[in-house]
Structure 1
Amino acid sequence: MAPTATAGSSASALWPAQQQQLQQQSLLVHGAARQRLLGNMTQQQQQQQQWGQRAPHTSYQQQQQWRAYRGAAKRVRHSLPDELSAALAVAKAARPPRAEPPQLAPRELQFSSRRAGAIAIKAGMTQEWDEYGARVPLTVLWIDDCKVMRHKTADADGVTSLVLACGAKKEKQLHPRQMAEFKAAGIPLARKLWECPVSEDAVLPAGTPITAAHFAAGQYLDVTGTTKGKGFAGVMKRWGFKGQGASHGNTKSHRRPGAIGGGRADPGKVWKGKKMPGHMGAETKVVRNVWLYKVDPQRNLLYVRGQVPGPAGGFLFIRDAFRWHWAQRAAAGLPFPTALPVPGGEGAMGGASGVVVAKRDGPDPYERFRSDVGEYAEGADWKTE
C-alpha cells in the first residue's frame, strides 16, 4: 500500500503517480478559472489581456483574477513595419564586411597619423625635483591592463576607431550581451570601455595591449576626465564672486550675487549663461597640452606635470595632444602604431630600470632668474648714504 502524504510533508515525498494526478487537477482548475475570466471579458479586454496590458476592470473579483493570471499571457512586442524591416535587412546585407586590421608591425609616423590613446586611473599626486633642482608637481596615472577590444572601419561603421577596455569586473556585474562581446573579442571582462578615433594606419588588432611604453617622456597629452562633484554651490564658490559688504547697512546679503540684470522693461529677462548659483562639478573636462614628465613602463605609470580632473581612483582618457606641433611630435620618438613587446621585458626603455625622465626645455630657471635680477640691479639707481 502506497504511503499517504501528511499535512506537514512536502510534495516531493509523494509517489510519481500521485504527483501527476495533482498536476492534472491543478491544470483543470486553472484552466476553468481562466475560461471564466475570459468569458466575463469583452473582446477588447481579451485582446488587451493577450497583449499583456492591464485591462480596465470594475469588479474587485475580476481584478484579483487579473492579478493571478496576468503573468500567463506573453507580451507581444511591437515590431517595425514589414517594408521598413525589409529595407533595413537589405541595407545591412549590402554593407561591406569590416576589414581586418593590418598585422602588428612598426610603421613610419605620418603627418596625418592619429595614434590610439589609453584608459588610465588617477593614482594621486606627488612631487619631484628636476635636474636644476626645481620642484615639479606631478600627477601619477596608472594604466591598468588596457587592451583593444575591437576596431571599427569607415566603410562598415562610418568611423575609424578602436574600442579600448581597462580594469577588471566580475561576471555577475555584466549583462549577458556585454559578456558575449568580451568572449567574442577574446579578452577578460573589463570595467571601463572607451571608443578612441584613430587614423587608418593606426588600427590595432583585438587583444593588443596599450602600456605606458606607448607614450614617450617629454611629449604633450590631452587628458579627459570627470571633475569632482561639489553639489549645489553659491556664486562665490562656483564663480569666484567677491561678495557684498560685511557692514554699512548690508543685511543677510553678504554672499548673494546681487542684481542679475533682468530689468523690468528692457530686456525684461535674464540672459542665458548668467553666472548664478547651481550645481558645481561632475562635468567632463579636457586638459590640453599636459607635459609628460616621466614614464615607468614596468609598473605602467605615467607622471604628468600639474593637476588633471577627477578624484583619485577615477578613470581618465589620455591621448596625444591635438594642438601639438608636427615637428615636435615627429622628434619625440613616439612608437607607431604602438610599443611592441620586447623579449625579456626589463630594459625595454632607457636602461635597466626602464624609467625615462624628460629634460626641461630651455635654460636653467635659476640662471635666468639671476640674469634678470642682475640686469635690474645694474640699471637701478641705488641710494648710498
Structure 2
Amino acid sequence: MSEPQTNWAGNVTYGAARLHRPDSVERLQDVVAGSGRLRALGTRHSFNRIADCPDGDLVSLENLPASMELDTVRHTVTVSAGVRYGELARWLHDKGYALHNLGSLPHISVAGACATATHGSGDANGNLSTAVAGIEMVTADGEITVLTRERDGDRLRGAVVGLGALGIVTRLTLDVVPAFDIRQDVYENLPWARLEDHFEEIFSATYSVSLFTRWRGPQIDQVWLKRRVDGSGDAWEAAPEWLDATLAETELHPLPGMPAANCTRQLGVPGPWHERLPHFRLDFTPSSGEELQSEYLVPRRHAIGALRALDRIRDGVASVLQVSEIRTVAADDLWMSPCYGQGAVALHFTWKKDWPAVSRVLTLVEEALEPFEARPHWGKLFVTSPERLRSRYERLPDFQRLLGVHDPTGKFRNTFVDDYILGENPR
C-alpha cells in the first residue's frame, strides 16, 4: 500500500501489502479470484485485528455503487454492503419504512455491523444481524453466492454473523417495518440500589434503554429512555422523578461535560425513529477516534451478579475509562452471535486511548466476569483466550464446517479467524 492504512480509532495499522478499491462487483470478483489471502474493510470501526490481513490483501467496498431496493410485498430492503446505516435509514424513512433497531452510531456500514453482530438496545430487539433475510457474497472462486432465509434456513443463520470469513459480502436483504416515531427522555443519578431492585422494570420501561456510568460512585449517571410514540396521540409525559432519578432539563452527552450538539434530540421531543434510536447524529462525528472500546455480552440471568462483580473493581475500571454503557439485547438464533440462544446484557466500555493500561484493566474485567459466561463483542478489544472464547459458542463446529464449504482454501482466513474460530494458526 502506498501509505499505511489504519482503523477509525488509529490503534490498528493494517499490515496488508495491497488495498483494492473496486468500483464494480465484476472488478471485485476479479480481485477475489486473483488474490491469495483477502479480507474486507467496512467503515473501519472494529478495534481489533479482525479485518487485518498481514500476509495478503485488503479490499474496500467504498467505491462500489450504492444501491437500495425496497420490496413492499416482502417487506424487505436490499442494500449494497458498504452503505451506512444512517444513509439507509433516511432513504427508508422517506418511503414510510424503518429498520427494527439501530446502533449507537449511524456511521457504520450495514455489512460490517451484521458480520460482527453489532447491536442497539431493547428487551425485545435483536441485534442488527437479526434483520438479515438474505446475503449476496463473492466467494473464494470469484463467483457470486446468494443465501436466503426461505431457501437456505439454517445455513443463512450460520452465515449472517460471518466475521468476514465466508466471502466478501456485496448485498444484504433486511426486514423492514412501517416507520415510527420515538421520543427520548434522559434521567440523571439513578441510585445503584434502585438498579439492582428494579432491573427488569428499568429495562422494560421503553422500546430502548441505555444506562451510562463512569463507575465512580453508587449511582448510574444517566438513563436514556427511547419510547415509541403512538401516532394516534400518545399523551404520556415523563415524570420529574423516576426511581429517585431526576429528569434532565437540558440535553446531555453520555460523557458529562461534553457538548450535546452531536447527540440525537432529547427532552421528550418526538421525532423519526432514525433520529432518536442512535445516540449520535449522522451529520456529526461523535469523536475524533481518541478512544478504545470493549464490550461483553452476559446472559441476562447473570445481569445483577455481573454488575456487582464490576462494581467491586470499579476503581480500576474508572482509572482508564471515559464512559460505560449498559444495554439489553434480545436472544437470537444466529450461530456466531453473542446473543445466540439467550437474551443478554451488554456491558460496554469506552476507554482512554492507552492500550497498555486498558489491557491490564481488561484482565481484571474478564476475571470478574468469568463466572457469568461473558462473550466479547467480535469487533472490540478483549484479552479472552481463544480456547475460552471458542467454548462459549455451541454452534462453532457447524460454523467451522460452513467455512470449509464456502472457503475450502482458506482465502478469507487470517490470524484472528485461525486463533478464535478454527483453533489453529499454521502461519
| TM, length-normalised to structure 2 | 0.20
Query: Which structure is higher in strand share?
Result: 2
Query: TM-score scaled to structure 1, two decimals?
Result: 0.22
